């Protein structure tokens, strides 16, 4: 009734291939963007920014990154936490080593450095597949965390072993450090997410993305068609690590400000990002964001309900939170193994006919 595509004609292939071929989707997308850029910055406060919005945006970037590797190219990675750490430490070294370098360049360069590290750890993927590759990336996770713990050069020989983001500004506004305002931090992260999501969309809809998906679905047939498997896998590792590295750099510099590597970038982070894309939907950019939103917001919502509404003790609520989040993950996986993205697609299919199914 409301959601339909009747009367929409696509006179050219260009129109048919656009990101949102249905007009209503397109307007919805513009509306959400306008709301996110023009309204939320005026409503935001510290609590919303730190509890929900910033982690959502940052983990959204990381989830898109991992989805490119795992969802589109079919290479399982458990090293996301380690690659985020590379991004964070690269950003720290760049910020402290080149104080005049703009923070945006620092973050982008950190992504680039992480991409190189990711390509290096992606080299074994030509020989090993599936679970075995997952174990190899697990090695990357543990090695990188160990490296950043052991080699004092990475944390500039600070006594605590932590890295702390110095204050940097962008257009006169403080972006990093303790004095940054939530709306500026939010806008920086949002801009990164929007641009990177669009880049991911462009990459996955063209021949690069089809090469990745061909490798994922049937690598022998892909090779026969002209896909160089090594190049396809390494570009996937590179692009994916670039995203994860930027997420790590943002997490460190804009969101947390100070980081202890084992605590923030441990193996749990790798798993959480993997859960995000599995729950959200493998091979879907919308799914990455939906999964990130779910796993970021769910604990906060549960905590508010249990502690705020029901008045339970905080530690009891914390334990229950694990139980419920775990149960919800299982529930959603049983209901729709292909994740929120598929659920959303099915809802849209149904809506096309609703409420007159004939």
Residue numbers of the site for other proteins (CB under 8 A)?
A: 12-14, 17, 199, 202-203, 205-208, 210-211, 213-214, 216-218, 220-229, 235, 283
Q: Does residue 2 sit in helix, strand or coil? A: coil
Q: Which is nearer to other proteins, 260 or 336 (CB)?
A: 336
Q: Which is nearer to other proteins, 303 or 338 (CB)?
A: 338
Closest CA to 57 of 301, 236, 251: 251
Minimum distance, C-beta of residue 188 to other proteins, in the bound complex (Å): 20
Phi, psi of 102 (to 5 degrees): -60, 140
Q: Which is nearer to other proteins, 23 or 205 (CB)?
A: 205
Cα 91 to Cα 113: distance, rounded to the nearest angstrom: 9
Q: Which is nearer to other proteins, 151 or 221 (CB)?
A: 221
C-alpha distances in angstroms, 91 versus 95, 123, 199? 6, 24, 22
Minimum distance, C-beta of residue 198 to other proteins, in the bound complex (Å): 9
Taking the CA atoms of residue 71, residue 73, residue 79 and residue 81 in that order, the dihedral angle to the nearest 10 degrees is -50
Parallel, antiparallel or unpaired: strands 258-259 and 173-174 = unpaired
Alpha helices in the chain (DSSP H): 13-16, 23-34, 40-43, 46-48, 54-66, 80-97, 103-122, 130-150, 182-205, 207-217, 219-225, 229-250, 261-264, 267-280, 285-303, 314-335, 339-353
Minimum distance, C-beta of residue 342 to other proteins, in the bound complex (Å): 11
Minimum distance, C-beta of residue 115 to other proteins, in the bound complex (Å): 12
Minimum distance, C-beta of residue 230 to other proteins, in the bound complex (Å): 10
Q: Does residue 165 sit in helix, strand or coil? A: coil
Closest CA to 243 of 102, 77, 28: 77
Q: Which is nearer to other proteins, 39 or 231 (CB)?
A: 231
Are 329 and 275 within 8 A, CB to CB? Answer: yes
Residues 6+ apart with CB under 8 A from 148: 85, 89, 154, 155, 261, 265
Minimum distance, C-beta of residue 16 to other proteins, in the bound complex (Å): 8
Taking the CA atoms of residue 76, residue 82, residue 86 and residue 91 in that order, the dihedral angle to the nearest 10 degrees is 110
Q: Which is nearer to other proteins, 138 or 199 (CB)?
A: 199
Q: Which is nearer to other proteins, 223 or 260 (CB)?
A: 223
Minimum distance, C-beta of residue 214 to other proteins, in the bound complex (Å): 5
Q: Which is nearer to other proteins, 172 or 226 (CB)?
A: 226
Minimum distance, C-beta of residue 224 to other proteins, in the bound complex (Å): 5
Other C-beta atoms within 10 Å of 85: how many?
33
Q: Which is nearer to other proteins, 126 or 135 (CB)?
A: 126
Minimum distance, C-beta of residue 41 to other proteins, in the bound complex (Å): 27
């Amino acid at each position: 009734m409301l959601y339909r595509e009747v009367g929409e004609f696509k006179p050219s292939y260009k129109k048919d291939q656009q990101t949102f071929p249905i007009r209503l989707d397109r307007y919805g997308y513009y509306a959400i963007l306008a709301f996110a850029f023009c309204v939320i910055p005026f409503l935001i406060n510290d609590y919303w920014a730190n509890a929900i919005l910033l982690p959502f945006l940052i983990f959204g970037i990381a989830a898109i990154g991992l989805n490119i590797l795992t969802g589109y190219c079919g290479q399982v990675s458990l090293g996301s936490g380690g690659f985020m750490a590379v991004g964070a430490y690269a950003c720290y070294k760049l910020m402290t080593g080149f104080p005049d370098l703009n923070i945006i360049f620092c973050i982008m360069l950190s992504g680039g450095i992480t991409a190189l590290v990711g390509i290096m750890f992606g080299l074994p993927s030509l020989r090993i597949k599936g679970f075995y590759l997952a174990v190899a990336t697990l090695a990357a996770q543990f090695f990188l965390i160990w490296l950043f713990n052991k080699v004092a050069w990475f944390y500039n020989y600070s006594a605590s072993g932590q890295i702390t983001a110095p204050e940097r500004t962008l257009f006169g506004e403080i972006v990093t450090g303790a004095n940054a305002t939530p709306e500026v931090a939010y806008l920086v992260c949002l801009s990164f997410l929007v641009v990177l999501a669009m880049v991911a969309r462009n990459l996955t809809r063209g021949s690069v993305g089809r090469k990745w998906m061909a490798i994922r679905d049937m690598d022998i047939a892909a090779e026969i068609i002209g896909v160089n498997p090594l190049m396809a896998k390494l570009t996937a590792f590179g692009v994916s690590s670039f995203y994860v590295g930027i997420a790590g750099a943002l997490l460190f510099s804009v969101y947390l400000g100070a980081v202890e590597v084992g605590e923030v970038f441990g193996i749990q982070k790798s798993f959480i990002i993997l859960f995000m894309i599995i729950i959200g939907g493998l091979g879907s950019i919308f799914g990455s964001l939906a999964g990130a939103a779910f796993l970021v917001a769910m604990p906060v919502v549960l905590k508010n309900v249990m502690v705020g509404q029901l008045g339970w003790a905080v530690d009891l609520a914390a334990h229950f939170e694990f139980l419920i989040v775990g149960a919800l993950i299982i529930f959603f996986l049983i209901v729709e193994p292909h994740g929120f993205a598929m659920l959303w697609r099915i809802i849209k299919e149904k809506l096309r006919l609703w409420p007159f199914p004939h």
